[in-house]
A and B are shown apart, each in its own frame.
Chain A
């Protein structure tokens, strides 16, 4: 029964959507303190390569690799963050974009470690490892009526889903607190925030580093979901794509990032039947949106209206 419903193709798209949501959040978090960072592709690459190399060469469990990847990305975030946070706006965007390119070029040229532009293959796959673990404790996918590869894709999807929920929970909780108010006040008026006793450097580094962490985490997961990575996966195209998720969905509210990543990952798949025209549609959609709704699809006002309607409906 379950075996008939589970379509591995859909599960795979679902997994990509979830990874892209993490990436969109990695842009959203620094942006919520007024920092436009285009470093997500670079941080993603650091997470991916760190985890892939550790698991391939040292036979470490995937979980350890992923955690190490995310931490390596955040360490780089701190190192790069402290000097570059003197920059703001477009200047920070360009500096972080440059950082991403530097990282990519290192991946291309450090042949002995990264195998250059060919990339790394044979990265241990998350789904297979979960399957082996399940078998180790005496569980067979057939017991719930699904095939092995269905189980693999389903387990990846569920792991990612749980992680995205945890990240959302984390970010929302943080937002509705002293830390979140500090971040948002820096975004709205940095000078006034500082004269209210807020250590702006500290909070900027925190949010920048959190962004790097989420990007590194997404990168490490990406490596173990796909099983193959190359420097091209972390080029500036990726950085721009991720930025578009956040800007398209609405950069003022976190649900905007979620929606943007969901919609823009799904749309090319849904539009597969018009083949090459789909990226034209994608482009036109972006141009129209920026013209009529520069703040993105979702913003605080729209959410308020939706909530208001719902509560009115509730009374009836």
Chain B
């Protein structure tokens, strides 16, 4: 088991965004987190990366309780994420974005950076090579010197994935990676996530594109109004009555809203 989410509750003021949610993900799985808008999916990501601390409950990552430790330390331990609304370093080049992602994988401090010690130069070279390799993986190598904000929308999403991969995570969290993508882009995203999986990285994905989720995920957890509604394989979820009701019972919460 890579990660175990145990009885997580999160209250914002008087409102419960998450109520006693538990699930666990096995190593190498692609695990889906779905549910109507406002179900608490992104809040769950914020719990795991500790952008917000849970009101109660625990998160166990690779046997270690990581609840409440600083977000940058969680990244160092091997969890990295992308954002629903893209959060790249917009004024930096594509390559530098990925190199920032590799921050936790490198160590040079002020002194070695200013004096360009041998170890620093070696590390920097290695970081560039690794970053370029990741850019090639997501198909952006030819744009490595482009300023991130000048990339096309789909490219920005792929860059965010490359940046997250640069931290060498064991668990990658993807928050609606297919949002705003056309069919062709979604297809290549599918291939990309499968490649990530084949490298031994566990993936937790929030996504509204149901065909993609069903094709991609090994297991899925459905959230509704902050509570866990169901969990199972894509077939089980598709035939679960509670899930069907949650999605179809209210027209304003269209499946691919």
Contact = CB atoms under 8 A, between A and B. Distances in A.
Interface stretch (B9-17, B24-32, B71-79, B182-190): B71-79
B167 A197 contact: yes
Contacts of B80: 195-197
Nearest to A200: B72
B89 A206 contact: no
A181 B93 CA distance: 11
B102 to A, nearest CB: 9
Contacts of A194: 70-72
Contacts of B108: 177-179
Contacts of A198: 72, 100, 103-104
B91 interface: yes
A11 B75 CA distance: 53
Residue from B71, B75, B90, B123 having most chain A Cβ neighbours under 10 A: B71
B116 A173 contact: yes
B87 interface: yes
A193 B81 CA distance: 11
Interface stretch (A16-24, A78-86, A182-190): A182-190
A173 B113 contact: yes
Given A179-B108, A181-B99, A185-B100, A199 B91 contact: no
Interface string B107-128: 0111001111000100110010
A174 interface: yes
Given A195-B51, A196-B163, A179 B113 contact: yes
A179 B127 CA distance: 13
Contacts of A181: 92, 96, 99-100, 103
Interface in A215-267: none
B114 A174 contact: yes
A188 B115 CA distance: 26
B60 interface: no
Contacts of B163: 196
B106 interface: yes
Contacts of A184: 89, 91-92
A9 interface: no
Interface string B191-219: 00000000000000000000000000000
A191 interface: yes
Contact of A197 (B90, B103, B113, B123): B103
Contacts of B116: 173
Contact of B100 (A174, A182, A200): A182
A192 interface: yes
A174 B116 CA distance: 9
B interface residue count range (under 10 / 10 to 19 / 20 to 34 / 35 or more): 35 or more
A197 B70 CA distance: 9
A88 B24 CA distance: 38
Interface string A140-174: 00000000000000000000000000000010011
A116 interface: no
Nearest to A169: B114
A200 to B, nearest CB: 7
Contacts of A196: 72, 75, 80, 100-101, 103-104, 163, 167
B87 A189 contact: yes
A300 B83 CA distance: 27
Contacts of A177: 108, 113-114, 120, 124
A174 B88 contact: no
Interface centre among A177, A178, A184 (most CB of B within 10 A): A178
Given A170-B114, A199-B72, A178 B103 contact: yes
Contacts of B96: 181
A178 B88 CA distance: 17
B124 A178 contact: yes
Interface in B136-170: 163, 167
Interface of A: 170, 173-174, 177-182, 184-185, 188-189, 191-200, 206, 300
29 contacts: A173-B113, A173-B114, A174-B114, A177-B113, A177-B120, A177-B124, A178-B124, A179-B108, A179-B110, A181-B92, A181-B99, A181-B103, A188-B91, A189-B87, A189-B89, A192-B83, A192-B88, A192-B89, A195-B81, A196-B103, A196-B104, A196-B163, A197-B72, A197-B76, A197-B103, A197-B104, A198-B104, A199-B72, A200-B72
Interface of B: 49, 51, 70-72, 75-76, 80-81, 83, 87-92, 96, 99-101, 103-104, 106, 108-110, 113-116, 120, 123-124, 127, 163, 167
Given A189-B87, A192-B89, 13 more contacts: A174-B114, A177-B113, A178-B123, A181-B92, A184-B92, A188-B89, A191-B51, A192-B83, A195-B71, A195-B80, A196-B72, A196-B80, A199-B72
